[in-house]
């Protein structure tokens, strides 16, 4: 990404990681379009980004579960920015696993937000990126997608599906000069995880945002953040089922 003046679209811009990344982009002089469901929160973030050096900070409303809106939204974003150099897909929810196990409707609703909505949005973005013959798509997934675990397998299944889609999309768009980056955070201290006890493996949204920025600049396809989660998940994936099923992960 150029040092200055990129055009950046962020979907799910009110999330802690997305806001931290937006601040880093603003400091580089980027023009930003922030999308989400909370207009007041988006407006407050946009005002802060202008103070931090953003060339522009626009806002747009989007509910990712309204799949029919995605094409119109992406076309409108393109019109607003002129060109989308970087698109960040950062929306998501953290399901209550037990509630999803008790209710198929709950599981489907969470999958619509974390998987289907993401796929629909990426499909619309890919069309624009192909037409402009370049750009970078950043998708925030999770280490939870690396192996199905009893504690969060609905969430993990959604993130695993997105990661596989991203892998194929990266292959599809390579010839068009479009990069697709899969960002896999570990445990991040955000409002979404406020109720969880914290330990040494936890990190901050600012750290994740820094790693994403560096990954964009360095041309990486996959980012584990912090870096040590790559090796933790390598071990978790390597555990044989006979041993893994005796754990409480």
pLDDT digits (tens, 9 = 90+) for 182-196: 999 999 998 888 888
Q: How high is the pLDDT of residue 7?
A: 97
Q: How high is the pLDDT of residue 5?
A: 53
Residue of 181, 77, 90 lying closest to 132 (CA atoms): 77
In CATH terms, the superfamily for domain 7-244 is NAD(P)-binding Rossmann-like Domain (3.40.50.720)
Integer CA distances (angstroms), 60 to 76, 117, 159, in order: 9, 17, 25
Q: Are 155 and 144 in contact (CB under 8 A)?
A: yes
Angle between helices 117-132 and 70-81 (to 10 degrees): 40
Segments of the chain with pLDDT less than 50: 1-4
Dihedral class, residue 136 (left if φ above 0, else alpha if ψ from -120 to 50, else beta): beta
Residue of 145, 108, 106, 159 lying closest to 229 (CA atoms): 145
The half-sphere exposure of 119 on its side-chain side, counting CA atoms within 13 A, is 14
Q: How high is the pLDDT of residue 2?
A: 43
Using DSSP bridges, classify how beta strands 178-185 and 135-140 pair: parallel, antiparallel or unpaired. Answer: parallel
Q: Are 32 and 90 in contact (CB under 8 A)?
A: no
Active site residues: 155
Query: Could you read off the pLDDT of 95-125 as tens digits, one per residue?
Result: 999 999 999 999 999 999 999 999 999 999 9
Q: How high is the pLDDT of residue 192?
A: 85
> Tokens 């892998």 correspond to what residue?
167
> Tokens 């409480």 correspond to what residue?
248
The DSSP H or E segment spanning 33 is strand 31-36
Residue of 39, 230, 8, 47 lying closest to 135 (CA atoms): 8
């Amino acid at each position: 990404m150029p040092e200055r003046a990129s055009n950046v679209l962020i979907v799910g811009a009110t999330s802690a990681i997305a806001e931290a990344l937006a601040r880093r982009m603003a400091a580089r002089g980027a023009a930003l379009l922030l999308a989400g469901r909370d207009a007041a929160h988006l407006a407050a973030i946009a005002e802060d980004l202008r103070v931090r050096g953003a060339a522009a900070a626009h806002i747009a409303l989007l509910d990712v579960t309204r799949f029919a809106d995605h094409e119109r939204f992406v076309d409108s974003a393109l019109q607003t920015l002129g060109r989308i150099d970087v698109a960040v897909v950062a929306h998501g929810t953290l399901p209550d696993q037990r509630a999803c196990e008790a209710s198929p409707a709950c599981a489907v609703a969470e999958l619509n937000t974390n998987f289907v909505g993401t796929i629909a949005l990426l499909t619309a973005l890919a069309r624009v990126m192909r037409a402009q013959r370049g750009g970078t798509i950043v998708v925030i997934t999770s280490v939870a997608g690396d192996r199905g675990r009893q504690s969060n397998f609905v969430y993990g299944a959604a993130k695993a599906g997105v990661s596989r889609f991203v892998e194929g999309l990266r292959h599809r768009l390579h010839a068009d000069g479009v990069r697709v980056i899969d960002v896999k955070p570990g445990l991040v201290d955000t409002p979404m995880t406020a109720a969880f006890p914290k330990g040494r493996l936890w990190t901050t949204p600012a750290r994740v945002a820094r790693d994403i920025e560096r990954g964009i600049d360095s041309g990486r396809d996959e980012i584990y953040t912090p870096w040590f989660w790559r090796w933790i998940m390598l071990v978790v994936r390597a555990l044989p089922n006979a041993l893994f099923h005796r754990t409480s992960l």
